[in-house]
A and B are shown apart, each in its own frame.
Chain A
Amino acid sequence: KQEVTQIPAALSVPEGENLVLNCSFTDSAIYNLQWFRQDPGKGLTSLLLIQSSQREQTSGRLNASLDKSSGRSTLYIAASQPGDSATYLCAVTSYDKVIFGPGTSLSVIP
């Protein structure tokens, strides 16, 4: 059974710092991995999608990498801003199901 974990559970950083969020999954048979952002009480906003054949994707200050063989992905956020404060979720598509990690709650302090 596919399981997804995320470390750390919570992170608090001063504005301007670069940071890394980690995601691990147990079964390397995935079609893709997505990173989402969720603001309190809201739905999910897709940030980046990495297909299983890809190694990384970039969008603005965000860069996500994927190492399928080791079951790991990282989300790198450059020059963090207070507006980046949210919960970040990773999810893998495995056997037609989308399975989520528990999320990392990020707080960027002005």
Chain B
Amino acid sequence: EPEVTQTPSHQVTQMGQEVILRCVPISNHLYFYWYRQILGQKVEFLVSFYNNEISEKSEIFDDQFSVERPDGSNFTLKIRSTKLEDSAMYFCASRVSEGGRYNEQFFGPGTRLTVL
């Protein structure tokens, strides 16, 4: 069964460093998402991406964050200058189309980011 994959599973970085989190969505999906979950807290929406552009972003997704679909398979989240509070689990998700019963999002296993 096709699934969303994410790499790395765990990333440790120093404060101020740039990190790139990678996701490979399910191949026929058109809509892509990044979420984060700080330890012990709820999952929070960061950004949605469709047709090679951001369709919606939350207030968390500030100028330090960017997303890109550099080729036909990868979807990346870049954090330019990491802060301690960026430490969280980052989940990528994808779905095939918009609306109704076809709105099921499939989540990847997550990347745990630790900022020291």
Instruction: Tell me whether A and B are bound partners.
Output: no
**Which A residues are closer than 8 A to B by beta carbons?**
none
